[in-house]
Amino acid sequence: MDYILAPSILAADFKVLGREIQETEKNGARYLHYDVMDGMFVPSISFGMPVLASIHDASDQVMDVHLMVQEPIRYIEDFRKAGADLVTVHLEACADVDATLGKIRECGLKTGLSICPETPAESVEPYLKDIDMILVMSVHPGFGGQKFIPESLDKIRKIRGMMEAQGISADIEVDGGIGLSNVREVLNAGANVIVAGSAVFGDRTAENTREFMEILREYE
C-alpha cells in the first residue's frame, strides 16, 4: 500500500501557484488535489478546466481531480483533456453512479468515488469493485480550513473493513481538516491518501510538506 500526500491547491497562493506546486513536488507530494466547485453541489465556486490545463505540466504529480459538481458525467471528458489523471465524483451528485464511474474508466482515468460526512459508509459498498479510490470527506465539502469531523475515523475503518471483506485493496483518500497533529489518527483508521490544503500551503509550504512526508514514511 502506498502512502500518499495530496496537497489541495485550493489553499495555495494563486499569485505564485507554479512555485507553490513545485515546493510540494520537490518535497515528496506525489498527488496534487484539485478541488472543483460548481456553486450548485457545494455553495462555493473554485476553478475548472483552464487552470488545470495550465498547471498539469508544471509538475509530474498525479492530478487528483475532486469534482464537487452536480451531474459530473457532463465534464469527465473535458477534465481528461485538461490533464486529469484521476477523477473523483460524489455519489450524492450523480443521477447514475455506475454510468459516471464507467465514463471515467472509458476516458482511461483512475476512478474515485466520494461521500459527504452525512452519507453512510455502507452506501459505497456496491461500487468498491468498480473504483480505484474512495474519498471520505472529513468536512462538509465547499471550503478549505474547516475542522476535522471526528466521526470520519469510524467511517474510514468501516470502508477499509468492507474492502478487506471483498478482497479489494483500493485506496482510501481522506479530505478536510487534516493537519500534522491528527494525520496519524487518519492513517491508523485505514486511510492511505491524505489531502491537506491549509496545513500545507502558506509561508512554509516546503517544510509542511516535508513534515507530512516524514509521518507518512512511518507507515511504509
Binders of Zn ion among residues 10 to 39 (CB under 5 A) are 35
Shortest Cβ 12–Zn ion spacing (Å): 13
Q: Does 72 bind ligand DX5 (CB under 6 A)?
A: no
Residue 98 a catalytic site member? no
Contact segment (CB under 5 A) with Zn ion among 13-21, 63-71, 163-171, 209-217 equals 63-71
Binders of Zn ion among residues 172 to 211 (CB under 5 A) are 175
187 binds, among ligand DX5, Zn ion, none (CB under 5 to 8 A by kind): none
Percent composition of the chain: helix, strand, coil (DSSP 3-state, to 5): 40, 20, 40
Q: Does 94 bind ligand DX5 (CB under 6 A)?
A: no
By beta carbon distance, the residue nearest ligand DX5 is 197
Judged by CB under 6 A, which of 73, 195, 205, 209 binds ligand DX5?
195
Sequence-distant (6+) residues with CB within 8 A of 92 are 41, 115, 116, 119
3-state DSSP assignment of residue 194: strand
CB 194 within 8 A of CB 187: yes
Residue 35 a catalytic site member? yes
Q: Which of 143, 206, 147, 196 is nearest to 173 (CA)?
A: 196
What is the C-alpha to C-alpha distance for residues 185 and 188, in angstroms, rounded to an integer?
5
Among the listed residues 35, 38, 64, 85, the single catalytic one is 35
Catalytic residues: 35, 175
